Amino acid sequence: MERKNSKKIPKEQLLLSLDRLTRFKPTADKYARVFNDIVNRYSSENIKTLSPQEVCARATDIFNSSAGFEGTCTHLEEMLKEEERATFFQDEESEKYLKTRLNIAPLAAFLASNDARKEMPLNLKRLVLSFKNPNIPPEVLREKYSLRWPLEKIILCEGATEEILLEELAKCAGYDFCKNGVYLLGAGGKNQVARKYYKMLNEVRLPIFILLDSDAKETEKLIAPKLRACDALYLIKGGEFEDILPESLIVRTLNAHFKNYIQCTNQDFDKTLPQSKNLKEIFRQKGYGDFKKCEFAKILKTHIQKEELDGELFEIIKMIAAL
């Protein structure tokens, strides 16, 4: 039953809450954030005077009342709870949240009937398709519609270049991350990878593939003793991630994007230098401006061709697929 003196949550805010509750985040973390936000904004009670159990109860009541609670729990709620338990380790606090009965079916129905929401994130799109197809297993829907969820494995990499390029490269090599439930996570630099992995050890049940540049040997030493049997760690032999990208892809991308400038050839690349240094020098010499890794990776992404993928890069993708 709805508590007195609570306000209705607007539809857009409900959808944002649903989005946050279905992202790849540890269960207790995302539920606490969403529930605290709901009570702070839509309840007349002071959250500081409430116990965690009371916050949970108030937030659930307000959410359900705003969404249109019908007193029944559909397959969507049970499906999400099963996936949370399969994806993350659950403690007493997490289970407390999973025992709540959030009626998300009215929101899924709203999204399903609203043509303006065709560009919704995949974690919401999959709810719509599961709502429409209750008898089809989530894994079947994932493969058919490239939904990513439910997740099957995690890739932990150093930085943004891998985050931008690896999924598209794998797709061109015949392995679709979205169809196979692969979630790619950047650590924010090689010095953060071990810390991130240690944290995930206590949170994530799914297999984790860790991809490191060749200069991350100290990070490898930190991770190796704690590496789980279901996980894998790979150190790039050829240097940085940019160094195992096909040179033909880089040359073709440069010439297509900077077609009004001096053209680039394979002879512009010094084979003894890392590609990042080569690219900085090429950008300087040919007047392309400053070389920025992330921006260039986004440009490269649009020029990838399947026939160029081979060598170490192709082997990495095969290892990810086999995990």
Q: Which backbone phi and psi does 99 adopt, to 5 degrees?
A: -85, -10
Same domain, 204 and 256: no
256-270 tens-digit pLDDT: 999 888 889 999 999
DSSP H/E element including 300: helix 293-301
3 inside domain? no
- Three-state secondary structure call for residue 232: strand
The domain spanning residue 206 has which CATH number?
A: 3.40.50
Residues 6+ apart with CB under 8 A from 88: 26, 27, 94, 203, 204, 205
Buried b (16+ CB within 10 A) or exposed e, 55-71: bbbbbbbbbbbbbebee
Angle at 307 between CA 304 and CA 311, to 5 degrees: 95
236-246 tens-digit pLDDT: 997 999 999 99
209 inside domain? yes
271 inside domain? yes
123-170 tens-digit pLDDT: 999 999 999 999 999 999 999 999 999 999 999 999 889 999 999 999
Buried b (16+ CB within 10 A) or exposed e, 232-253: bbeebebebbbbbbbeebbbbb
127 inside domain? yes
Average of per-residue pLDDT values in the chain: 92
Rounded to an integer, the average pLDDT of 190-202 is 95
228 inside domain? yes
The closest alpha carbon to 309, from 256, 252, 253, 245, belongs to 245
**pLDDT at res. 2:** 46
Provide the residue range defining the domain that includes 247: 242-305
The confidence band for 71, taking pLDDT boundaries of 50, 70 and 90, is: low
The confidence band for 305, taking pLDDT boundaries of 50, 70 and 90, is: confident
Q: For the chain, how many structural domains are there in total?
A: 3
Residues 6+ apart with CB under 8 A from 157: 163, 166, 184, 185, 186, 187, 193, 210, 211, 212, 241
Same domain, 173 and 55: no
